[in-house]
Homo-oligomer: A and B are copies of this chain.
């Protein structure tokens, strides 16, 4: 029985792979025609080599680079099995990475939603919120004078573990009756955590604060250095006049509301205290 030969166009039709792709596979020696007519340079493929294209497709689909496919085609079934096991790990890693990105996106959306809501508020508000922050102790700095080095260190620590930084930063200081911001001394700086990646890390146990579904009392305003104290005092006096049972420290969260290079920068400050 003589074996049938197919032109490149016929192979393209039978395999659902385009002619240019088949030509390219020939060029890179991945899948070569059984015969090339010396006169016309037409490619002819044997019927019995068609099935190899399915394997090439499958390997491509599972993310194997074309250069590796060439090697994999020569594998024994046992070697192929090992390769597939490895590829499975690779895919699992990718899925996990994307799931983290997905969580990060949801967190960012939540932050943004809160920001859009609170941006309009000028009065003291109460809200229920999760707090998931990475903190670093600092000494003797007022909120506006914390050196960028400190935040740089925060970024490095969070990113070293493969976690991601949001562009929100903050500091923590005691809830006291200040008359000027110069009197304020921060105990910590912090950044909200976008994933759970660091939560279970023993080395960072002391750095992480997780408060879920807690009531907070706060105030939010457009940042201006001269008007900060005025907003702080409004919050402070509200808490004291109502004799609210609160924690002894304030979270100050600094959020950029504009990222354009061509416009003046704009920040929102949110001060909040946990209700006990």
Residues of A within 8 A of B (CB): 1, 6, 13-16, 31-32, 47-52, 54-55, 57-58, 61-63, 72-75, 77-78, 80-81, 84-85, 87-88, 91-92, 94-95, 98-99, 101-102, 104-106, 108-109, 112-113, 115-116, 119, 148-149, 151-152, 155-156, 159, 164-167, 169, 225, 256-257, 259-262, 265
Q: Is the CB of B166 within 8 A of A58?
A: yes
Q: Is the CB of A87 within 8 A of B105?
A: yes
A155 partner, pick from B15, B91, B156, B262, beta carbons under 8 A: B15
Q: Residues of B contacting A48 with CB < 8 Å?
A: 265
Q: Is the CB of A91 within 8 A of B105?
A: yes
Q: Is the CB of B15 within 8 A of A152?
A: yes
Q: Closest CB of chain B to A257's CB: distance in Å?
A: 6
Q: Residues of B contacting A101 with CB < 8 Å?
A: 61-63, 91
Q: Closest CB of chain B to A194's CB: distance in Å?
A: 8
- A165-B58, A259-B55 in contact; A88/B109 too (CB < 8 A)? yes
- A16-B156, A77-B116 in contact; A47/B148 too (CB < 8 A)? yes
Q: Closest 9 interchain pairs by CB?
A: A54-B167, A14-B152, A73-B259, A74-B260, A55-B259, A55-B167, A95-B98, A88-B105, A51-B256
